[in-house]
Amino acid sequence: MNKLILYFVFSLIVFNVQAQNRFFTKDAKINFNSSTSVEDIVAESNQATTLIDIDKNEIAFSVLTTSFKFRRALMEEHFNENYMESVKFPKAKFNGKIISPIEWKSEKVVLVDVKGVLTMHGVSNEIILKAQIIPGKNKILAITEFKVIPEAFGISIPSAVRDKIAKEVTIKIDAAYTPYQP
Average pLDDT, the chain: 90
Residue 15 has a pLDDT of 44
User: Of 18, 28, 17, 30, whose CA–CA distance to 51 is shortest?
Assistant: 28
- Yes or no: say if 29 and 48 are a contact pair by the CB < 8 Å rule: yes
User: What distance in Å separates the CA atoms of residue 25 and residue 51, rounded to the nearest whole number?
Assistant: 7
pLDDT tens digits, 43-68:
999 999 999 999 999 999 999 999 99
Model pLDDT for residues 68-80, shown as the tens digit of each residue: 999 999 999 999 9
> In which element (H, E) is residue 13 found?
helix 2-20
User: Does pLDDT of 2 surpass 80?
Assistant: no
Return the minimum-mean-pLDDT range out of 5-9, 73-77, 121-125.
5-9
**Domain housing 161:** 2-179
Its pTM stands at 0.86
What element of type H or E holds 76? helix 73-78
Domain CATH code at residue 147? 2.40.128.110
Q: Strand (E) positions, 81-167?
A: 91-98, 110-120, 123-134, 140-148
User: What local confidence, expressed as pLDDT, does residue 107 receive?
Assistant: 87
Name the domain count of the chain: 1
